[in-house]
């Protein structure tokens, strides 16, 4: 019996939703609205004899590296039917999806894995993290109300998105959000009521946050921020003061922030926690396009010969010359192949998650000392993380 791989049809969404709710343990009633928000055309399925064996959701967006937004396709909702487990259905649909997305022009793909083995088989590698920070409201320690704070209005939308991009473009790994991710940010799953607040003079948005409250079974109150963004220290202090003002009725502020994030670094007292939430993985779909699409340090000038191994996307395999200068890269076929690297290790190098010397110590990169130093200078930058989960 042959397989049929294509986007899902409208009349198949209920079946896809039921399968994914079984895989991930959430109510089946929530699945179809989620798939519709993502777009039916982005729901990829694998059928056998008319029955759906596997599904994978593609989310077109971008991801910032070196100050530039690289076109990126996010992957979510990868699941197989109970009957098709162990048959290779997930591997088959992921392999097909990656080739299709490369043909559409996406240089990279990113996902949050439920398992490492499957995604490593198709060329992904751990390449960044998402962090959760938590601080007692009583330990925030700020009473800074110099900047005005007000409830967010619909007309603030463009300024809020511009504020996010101003921060995101300076980070490695932040996504260049499309409608799907913005909707999840503004209306986080499980939140009864999410409210936005902006900080700034007049119509100018210097910072903003989307907040909702959660109370657990022990009546422990927490103020959660699904987005907590500012472009100045004073805006961060104002947002932290806003959170602290809830201390008479609550316990903690919870938000997504790396330990190095300004929102954490500005805290004046000991007592906060920051933990790795999930680690995300990245896949280089097109080596040449991925390297030329990202930004590079203006002061770095290097020439490196790469030999890339890729056992899934044959067009990625082989030798490439990489020339970086003036914040841009040129890539061509050929060269000596003096730096030997698997496409998985290249993903970890690309984001800055792994230093080339660490990859060499792991046996995942073979290069001379001079080339290791050149790669370190070119791929160095902010440690990759993102606040979004998709």
Please report, in tens digits, the pLDDT of each residue of the chain (390 residues total): 578 888 888 888 989 989 999 999 888 888 889 999 999 999 999 998 888 999 999 999 999 999 999 999 999 999 999 998 999 999 999 999 999 999 999 999 999 999 999 999 999 999 999 999 999 999 998 899 999 999 999 999 999 999 999 999 999 999 999 999 999 999 998 788 899 999 999 889 999 999 999 887 666 789 999 999 999 999 999 999 999 999 887 799 999 999 999 999 999 888 889 899 889 999 999 999 999 999 999 999 999 999 999 999 999 999 999 999 999 999 999 999 999 999 999 999 999 999 999 999 999 999 999 999 999 999 999 999 999 999
Q: How far, in Å, CA of 200 to CA of 147, rounded? A: 6
pLDDT at 290: 98
350, 65 in Cβ contact below 8 A?
yes
Tell me the CATH class for 3-123. Answer: alpha beta
- For the chain, how long is the longest CA-to-CA vector? 69
Residue 113: the pLDDT is: 97
- In CATH terms, the fold of domain 286-379 is Nonspecific Lipid-transfer Protein; Chain A (3.30.1050)
Query: What is the C-alpha to C-alpha distance for residues 12 and 256, in angstroms, rounded to an integer?
Result: 35
Pick the CATH number of 131-279 from 3.40.630.30, 3.10.105.10, 3.40.50.1000, 3.20.20.140: 3.40.630.30
Res 292: pLDDT = 98
Using DSSP's 3-state secondary structure scheme, residue 266 falls into: coil
Spatial separation of the C-alpha atoms in residues 365 and 385, rounded to whole Å: 23
How far is the C-alpha of 106 from the C-alpha of 126, rounded, in Å? 19
Q: Tell me if domain 131-279 and domain 286-379 are identical in fold.
A: no
Long-range contact set of residues 47-50: C-beta below 8 Å, sequence gap at least 24: 47/3, 47/4, 47/5, 48/1, 48/2, 48/3, 48/4, 48/84, 49/1
User: First vs last Cα of the chain: how many Å apart?
Assistant: 34
Q: How far is CA 159 from CA 45, 156, 212, in A?
A: 38, 5, 21
**What is the residue extent of each domain of the chain?**
3-123, 131-279, 286-379
């Amino acid at each position: 019996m042959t397989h049929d791989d294509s986007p899902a049809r409208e009349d198949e969404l209920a079946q896809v939703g039921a399968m994914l709710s079984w895989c991930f343990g959430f109510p089946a009633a929530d699945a179809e609205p989620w798939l519709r928000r993502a777009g039916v055309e982005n729901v990829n399925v694998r059928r056998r004899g008319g029955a759906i064996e596997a599904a994978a959701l593609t989310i077109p967006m971008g991801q910032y590296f070196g100050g530039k937004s690289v076109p990126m396709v996010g992957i979510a909702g990868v699941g197989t039917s109970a009957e098709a487990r162990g048959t290779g259905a997930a591997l088959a649909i992921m392999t097909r999806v990656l080739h299709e997305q490369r043909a559409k022009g996406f240089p990279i793909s990113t996902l949050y894995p439920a398992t490492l083995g499957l995604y490593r088989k198709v060329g992904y590698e751990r390449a960044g993290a998402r962090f959760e920070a938590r601080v007692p409201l009583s330990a925030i320690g700020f009473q800074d109300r110099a900047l005005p704070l007000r409830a967010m209005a619909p007309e603030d939308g463009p300024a809020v998105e511009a504020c996010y991009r101003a921060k995101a473009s300076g980070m490695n790994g932040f996504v260049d959000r499309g409608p799907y991710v913005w909707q999840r940010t503004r209306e986080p799953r499980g939140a009864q009521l999410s409210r936005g607040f902006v900080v700034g003079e007049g119509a100018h948005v210097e910072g903003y946050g989307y907040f909702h409250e959660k109370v657990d079974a022990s009546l422990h109150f927490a103020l959660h921020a699904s987005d907590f963004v500012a472009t100045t220290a004073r805006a961060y202090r104002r947002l932290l003061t806003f959170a602290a003002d809830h201390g008479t009725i609550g316990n903690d502020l919870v938000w997504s922030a790396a330990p190095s994030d300004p929102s954490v670094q500005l805290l004046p007292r000991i007592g906060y926690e920051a933990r790795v939430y999930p680690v995300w993985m990245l896949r280089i779909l097109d080596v040449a396009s991925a390297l030329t699409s990202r930004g590079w340090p203006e002061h770095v000038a290097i020439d490196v010969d790469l030999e890339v191994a890729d056992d899934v996307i044959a067009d990625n395999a082989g030798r490439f010359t990489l020339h970086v200068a003036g914040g841009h890269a040129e890539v061509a076929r050929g060269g000596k192949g003096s730096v030997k690297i698997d496409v998985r290790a290249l993903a970890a190098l690309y984001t800055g998650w792994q230093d080339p010397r660490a990859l060499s110590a792991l046996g995942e990169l073979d290069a001379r000392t001079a080339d290791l130093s050149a790669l370190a200078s070119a791929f160095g930058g902010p440690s990759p993380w993102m606040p979004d989960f998709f």
